[in-house]
Amino acid sequence: MNNEEILLRSIRGSSYLSIAPCILLSAAVWFTSDSSGIVIANIFQIYFSLLLFYLFGKIWSLRSNFEQPLRSELKKIAIIPALLAMIGIILTIYMNPAWGIAFLMVGFYLFRFIRFYFLIFQTISHTYIDLFNRISIILCICLMLILTYWLNPYSNPIEAYI
């Protein structure tokens, strides 16, 4: 096993372990009572925002491994998760959680299609891009589940905030 393979396994393992609480929390809201479901949905959003801030720090620290043109691109990419988390938190606090989750879902999904992003993809191995796509799809599904929970007309949990 060479160093690249060990690094990939380490990144893959830590990535899946870090999104495991998101998967667990997004499924748990559907199997709990309404009052505890609201708490779990809020915990999900807090954890997801912390995950975005962690992603910001991780991308920011990767800048030292690349040369100058890619370093400035990574700086632009690193700021996006932090902005998404901050705007999502602000929308949740001042409007309601459905707006914050909807913004996070749309923003996180569109984050994949940014134009300057493709310059980074040319230097990174295809296996890392595949891992990034899998993780982002899983997280978008989790965000959809939480948004569906907030907008559920039967239990109507958003009524607690309106």
pLDDT digits over 80-129, tens only? 889 999 999 999 899 989 999 999 999 888 877 765 556 666 666 778 77
Confidence of residue 50 (pLDDT cuts 50, 70, 90): very high
Per-residue confidence (pLDDT) for residue 19, from 0 to 100: 92
* pLDDT at residue 60, rounded to an integer: 85
User: In the predicted model, what is the mean pLDDT of residues 61-70?
Assistant: 76
In angstroms, the Cα distances linking 132 to 40, 60, 63, 111, 138 are: 26, 17, 18, 12, 10
Confidence of residue 48 (pLDDT cuts 50, 70, 90): very high
Whether the pLDDT of residue 157 is over 60: the answer is yes
**Pairwise CA distance, residues 141 & 137, whole Å:** 6
